[in-house]
Structure 1
Amino acid sequence: MIFGSLHWLDIAVVAAYFAAVIYIGQRASKATKSEEGFFLAGRKLGKLYQFFLSFGNATEPQGAVSTASLVFQRGVAGVWFSFQTVFMNPYFWFMNVWFRRVRLMTVADLFEDRFDSRGLSRLYTLSQIAVACVFLGFANFVAYKIASSLVVKPPVTWTAEERASVRAYEEMKRLDRAAPAGQLTAEEVRTLGDLRDRYARGELHSYITLLKPFPFYLAFTAIVGAYIVLGGMSAAAVNEGLQSVLIIVFSILLIPTGLASIGGWGQLAHKVPKDMMDLFAGQGTSGWFILAVLLPSLVQMHALSHNMTIFGSAKNEFAARFGVSGNYLKRFMIILWAFAGLVAIAMFGVGGLADPDMTWGVMSNRLLGPGLAGLMLAGVLAGTMSTLAAKALAISSLFVRNFYRHIRPDASAESALKAARWTVIAVLALGVISALLMDNLQAVVVLVLTVNVPFGAAVLLIFFWRRLTSPAVWASVILSSLVILFIPLTADYVPALRQSPALTISVPDAAGQPVAVYWKQLVRIDPTNPASALEGRGRFNVECWLLDRVGFGTSRYTPNGRETAQFFVDGLLPFLFLIVFSYVTRPTEKARVDLFYGKMKTPVGDTPEAEAEAMELTRRQPGRFDHTKLFGANSSWEFAKWDRVDAIGFVICCAISGGIIALFAFLLKLASAR
């Protein structure tokens, strides 16, 4: 050991990976002499690159860590927070093509192309800079969570304060596990309340690490920034191949080593409770809950800024569609991550870890020897880097195309690329700041599912509804952002709200402790007074508060029921705003709308000459594909009839999705057989 629990072999593996990605960035720098070359790799990426780009950007370490953590806490039912995406794959067969057919460089360009609205374009750009802070911060946060658990401080070197903090955390978790069975004395109930209050204030810790967050984030993002600034999208695409291999490796590593540590595959059935191995039973697995999580997840997918970066870089439509295969490989990774969570239950027992967020990291520390721990760390860093790279490039292209070019329309390509590179650096720096503010994995998972919903609904209707108007998008984005994001995330900073008796109502849990109806948790205003009034902390569930205003009575729901209601409101409310405001505002200029949907129905040419010829014909006859509209040529809905490729691809995708679910259920049945 030369640095905490890391061996010199581990450090050598990580250093070799860093050297490789910087070398790739340097080699790719020759292809970044233009904006299209830097952001979209010249629209020349074929099926293999699309596979790696889709897989690398869909498969991130935070997914592995959060899935293993949720399975450890909830049983395999917890996998549905991420596994619900298996139902999206057939949809991607169509969606990927839309982002290629629109023939634009950024998602923000959609708003200029469809509405002639630079204001909306800039609003989207600003929102995505904020969203990037969440996504990049989340990626950094998870990478640190794992890395810090691999570089732990030996207990003999703990200070008295550190030792007391860890012991208090472990005592809180012990009492938490005993509470549902009613085994706590009155004194222990009071102690549990005190400890929960201290934990909510950030005073308790589950482990002590040698890694400090800020230096880790700074060094990590510097490596990402180096290869992206050098090579742009070309470097990202090549690195995705290397990173995808490492992601697969780190997803597999814990399974054989973990099974060996518990005595083999057959021990899962004896050491994991049977109900925790049922994919379709348990907390969070009702059909309504799965549908509720799927809805905002599917909606927000349309507003991801890297959609245009990835699918717009495809050399043709089939290459863009082939990216769905990368998403399918991720579903297999989710199965591996879920089994890692089950192995953790077998290793540590139900609730046996003080901090469930550290499930992946603690297993890595316990199971992997010299070299393998480094390979795990390299895999985590690789997956995080792919997320950071794609998001930073997408935000960079947004800023240059939809801010810098607006201010300096005559800027040279060299000047624009310089601005793009500085933007990458700035975005990565914002990701570091965001990561420093994060402290709870599950809360961030929920935020990631909903943060892009306001613009996601708008982008989805842009593709399908010609009656959609620019004022409606403005109104919907602002109002739904208030309900879904701004009020829930800022309410606990307003004393009048977090201490309001009407908002701090609670229902008792099995131990008699108050469970908040509208807040993530409740703490005493005066921590030294057991009789103190309570105040809310964490996310404010404004969705359930609104439902109560119209008579739903969400205090009668279970915590899972309130979470389900929250996701349904988040997914549907923006569409309500968009449709209502569109019907009371003036339609967009007909000629612009006709050309937009004519372009969306014009297949991308296989050669530049064929592409130019097809688009010229569409400009002259924008309605030449109206006969393909599903509801008739005069309908305002632009759904198109499927052709042979659409139908066959969709059926195959559905079959694969069903096969993956069946395989998962079959493996769980085998694992639970005694």
Structure 2
Amino acid sequence: MTSLDYAVVGIYFALVTALGLSVSSRVRSPDDYFLGGRGFGKLLQTFAAFGAGTGSGDPVNAARTVYTGGASGMWSVMYWLFMTPFYWITAVWYRRMRHVTLGDWFVERYESPRLGAAYATFGVIYFVVYASMLLSAIGKVAAPLIGATLFEIGGLSIPIEYLLVPAIGAVVLVYGLAGGLHAAYLTDLAQGICIILLSVLLVPFGLMEMVRVFGGPESQSSLLDGFTLMHEQLDPSDFQLFGGADSQFTVAYLTVVVLLNLAGVVIQPHFIATGGGSAKSEYDARVGLVVGNLLKRLCTIGWVLVGLIALSLFGDDPLLIDDPDKTWGIASARLLGPGLTGLMLSCLLAALMSSVDAYMITGSALIVRNLYTTFIDPDASERRCLLVAKITGAAIVLGAVAVSLTTMDVFAQLQLTWVIPVLFAAPFWVGMYWRGATTAGVWATIAFGAIAFFILPALGQEVSLVGLVGVDLSGWTANSQETVQLAETVVAPFVVMIVASLLTPKNSPTTLDRYYTKMRTPVDPDPQTDKAKLEATIAGEQVCDIQKLFPNTPLEFNRPTRTDAVGFVVLCVTCGLVIGLAKLVFSLGS
């Protein structure tokens, strides 16, 4: 990188910090800090969902898996597309909960502050692991862009990530601690624009380089020529959206990954805010969540093109063969000129910081509400709660920095984030829709998941439910075995949760009536009106606006409204169009 590149990165850091500090005066209470007063409209909710859901690991992982497996590698990121229609429904959940954290939900639904504390512990661990993955991705990109080492002391070479990763953490802390969620959302708006820019920045330069390297003197300098030459350099199988039996992303594997993440995404701790809980209204929550995530899906197409370009130009590069995680970084370093290289690094930093700031604030909310004020200082003042929030938020970021600097395997860290949420996924889904879900059932499910999916594997012992019933997987391909293992990870906790709940004491009918009535009462954008309407409905003075789909049963599915049904169908069609667009783009020049 040149002096111009460093200047671009410095200007970016300064602008983001100033933007975050500019709203610090709006933070007067923990509710302002954690949820911005629940006053965000469609625009900020859109870029909050887009920013929190799009980290530096996404383009890095997409480019890596495409480099190693062709266009089918796009599903390492694009699998989230199939969850978008469900977001139209789940966004309403988070707003109707009227909670600050998902730990609060476990306390209410299962009448257990200890479950809230357990969820808070899970949430903090999840944030540290996920944020560390994003920081590791920056390390993988920064090394090719800046150089493997930045400086030497006494003959000792210091890797660039040991300077850059802590610097990123420091900037996030400055504006996040000052302005809370409002600062995070405002910076997410600016950072979202940067993320969109990075998604398209490399493509034209890569296609023109394709023309220069492979086209010959008679070639025209057009982007379409670049697509044509890319098809000539690669095998047709490299452009297939779904790989064959030897591919990592087969249809079966992708299906299981989608189901696993659909089960787990709803209990990602930051979803209480970015998933709709901080929005003014239910409709703002819905539009923000689905549009923000659709923007990410469109950006993914650009990331996949970068991977295909890198595979065409640098397919035999020993650096990439040795470490495919560096695909995006090497492509950026070799295709971009002075100034643009710094802009690319700034855009990747934007992708990282727009996620980490949300994790920091939501994680601190979990600690304050579900650990500190519940078990340590129930009478803590708002000022003391804000102080604890800022201290614990800083600890989360510092923890992620530490894990990142000791673990630099981006895809392995991503796969770990797929599995961690299974501890609380089944209790959430079952508790949302079945009155029979019990507190003891939740503890049994958590214990089972911890032992089967974490403790025993750490001891070198794998538990296979299929193997227990006599199915021999030894002759199956590695991918098929992993597919079965992931399927077990999805199904087993739900079985444990349901069986354990059938065998243990039920929760209080009064608590359950109040909770499910609340979830059938739409939110009024005015807080005072909403509170009065909710209390009147719970007291029986007003009829619920939404009715049960299965009356007189313990199943608590709400009857879908016209908005529910139309939105879901439209989004299903939209998902098909996105896949069609990807296929069309990848076929250009064929």
Alignment of 1:529-548 (within 5 A): 542-543=462-463, 545-548=464-467
| Equivalent residue number for residue 261 of structure 1 | 209
| Equivalent residue number for residue 634 of structure 1 | 552
Measured in 1, the distance between the counterparts of 2:47 and 2:272 equals 16
Say whether the 8 Å CA contact 1:299–1:460 is kept in structure 2.
yes
Measured in 2, the distance between the counterparts of 1:249 and 1:389 equals 20
Measured in 1, the distance between the counterparts of 2:143 and 2:498 equals 48
Measured in 1, the distance between the counterparts of 2:87 and 2:80 equals 11
Q: In the TM superposition, what whole-angstrom CA distance separates every residue of 1:329-364 from its partner, at most 9, and x where no partner exists?
A: 100111111111111111012676232111001101
Measured in 2, the distance between the counterparts of 1:108 and 1:154 equals 42
Query: Residue 568 of structure 1: SS of its match in structure 2?
Result: helix
1:404 is aligned, of 372, 375, 379, to 372
| Equivalent residue number for residue 77 of structure 1 | 72
Measured in 1, the distance between the counterparts of 2:442 and 2:488 equals 18
1:430 is aligned, of 372, 385, 399, to 399
| Equivalent residue number for residue 342 of structure 1 | 308
Measured in 2, the distance between the counterparts of 1:346 and 1:418 equals 52
| Equivalent residue number for residue 611 of structure 1 | 530
Alignment of 1:163-562 (within 5 A): 211-263=159-211, 264-282=226-244, 283-310=247-274, 311-323=276-288, 324-349=290-315, 353-354=320-321, 355-406=323-374, 407-488=376-457, 490-491=458-459, 497=460, 542-543=462-463, 545-562=464-481
Measured in 2, the distance between the counterparts of 1:356 and 1:638 equals 47
The one-letter code of the counterpart of 2:435 is R
Alignment of 1:570-649 (within 5 A): 570-621=489-540, 624-625=543-544, 628-631=547-550, 633-649=551-567
| Equivalent residue number for residue 204 of structure 1 | none
Q: In the TM superposition, what whole-angstrom CA distance separates every residue of 1:119-146 from its partner, at most 9, and x where no partner exists?
A: 1001111111111221111111111111
Query: Residue 641 of structure 1: SS of its match in structure 2?
Result: coil
Measured in 1, the distance between the counterparts of 2:545 and 2:474 equals 50
Q: 1:153 to 1:413 in 2, by over 3 A?
A: closer
Query: Residue 88 of structure 1: SS of its match in structure 2?
Result: helix
Say whether the 8 Å CA contact 1:72–1:350 is kept in structure 2.
no
Query: Residue 556 of structure 1: SS of its match in structure 2?
Result: coil
Q: 1:119 to 1:436 in 2, by over 3 A?
A: same
Q: In the TM superposition, what whole-angstrom CA distance separates every residue of 1:494-530 from its partner, at most 9, and x where no partner exists?
A: xxx4xxxxxxxxxxxxxxxxxxxxxxxxxxxxxxxxx
Q: CA deviation at 1:158?
A: 11
Say whether the 8 Å CA contact 1:246–1:379 is kept in structure 2.
yes
Q: In the TM superposition, what whole-angstrom CA distance separates every residue of 1:64-120 from its partner, at most 9, and x where no partner exists?
A: 101110011011112122212111100000001101101010000011111220110
Say whether the 8 Å CA contact 1:29–1:231 is kept in structure 2.
yes
| Equivalent residue number for residue 583 of structure 2 | 665
Measured in 1, the distance between the counterparts of 2:283 and 2:237 equals 43
Q: CA deviation at 1:562?
A: 1.2
Measured in 1, the distance between the counterparts of 2:358 and 2:152 equals 39
Measured in 1, the distance between the counterparts of 2:254 and 2:536 equals 45
Q: In the TM superposition, what whole-angstrom CA distance separates every residue of 1:423-480 from its partner, at most 9, and x where no partner exists?
A: 1111111111211231322222211211112212222222211110011111101211
Measured in 2, the distance between the counterparts of 1:361 and 1:571 equals 34
Task: State the aligned residue count.
Answer: 568
Measured in 1, the distance between the counterparts of 2:175 and 2:516 equals 38
The one-letter code of the counterpart of 2:336 is L
Measured in 2, the distance between the counterparts of 1:80 and 1:435 equals 24
Measured in 1, the distance between the counterparts of 2:525 and 2:325 equals 48
Q: 1:117 to 1:567 in 2, by over 3 A?
A: same
Measured in 2, the distance between the counterparts of 1:242 and 1:455 equals 33
Q: In the TM superposition, what whole-angstrom CA distance separates every residue of 1:388-447 from its partner, at most 9, and x where no partner exists?
A: 101111110001111111121211111110111111111111111211231322222211
* Unaligned runs of at least 5 residues, structure 1: 1-5, 163-208, 492-496, 498-539
Please identify the structure whose Cα radius of gyration is greater. Answer: 1
Q: CA deviation at 1:312?
A: 1.3
The one-letter code of the counterpart of 2:421 is N
Q: 1:460 to 1:623 in 2, by over 3 A?
A: farther
Q: 1:622 to 1:657 in 2, by over 3 A?
A: farther
Measured in 1, the distance between the counterparts of 2:130 and 2:446 equals 19
The one-letter code of the counterpart of 2:230 is L
Percent same amino acid at aligned positions?
A: 34
For normalisation by structure 1, the TM-score amounts to: 0.81
Runs of 4+ off more than 4 Å:
none
* Unaligned runs of at least 5 residues, structure 2: 212-225
Measured in 2, the distance between the counterparts of 1:137 and 1:154 equals 20
Q: CA deviation at 1:210?
A: 5.7
Q: CA deviation at 1:627?
A: 7.4
The one-letter code of the counterpart of 1:318 is Y
The one-letter code of the counterpart of 2:243 is A
Query: Residue 480 of structure 1: SS of its match in structure 2?
Result: helix
Which is worse superposed, 278-287 or 592-601?
278-287
Say whether the 8 Å CA contact 1:150–1:365 is kept in structure 2.
yes
Q: In the TM superposition, what whole-angstrom CA distance separates every residue of 1:590-648 from its partner, at most 9, and x where no partner exists?
A: 000010000001000132343123202222029944972222x2111111221111111
| Equivalent residue number for residue 185 of structure 1 | none
For normalisation by structure 2, the TM-score amounts to: 0.93
Measured in 2, the distance between the counterparts of 1:622 and 1:410 equals 33
Q: 1:292 to 1:153 in 2, by over 3 A?
A: closer
The one-letter code of the counterpart of 1:425 is A
Q: State yes or no: 1:45 paired with 2:13.
A: no
Measured in 1, the distance between the counterparts of 2:407 and 2:6 equals 27
Measured in 1, the distance between the counterparts of 2:76 and 2:506 equals 38
Measured in 1, the distance between the counterparts of 2:339 and 2:125 equals 38
Q: CA deviation at 1:384?
A: 0.4
Say whether the 8 Å CA contact 1:149–1:358 is kept in structure 2.
yes
Measured in 1, the distance between the counterparts of 2:431 and 2:447 equals 17
Measured in 1, the distance between the counterparts of 2:128 and 2:547 equals 41
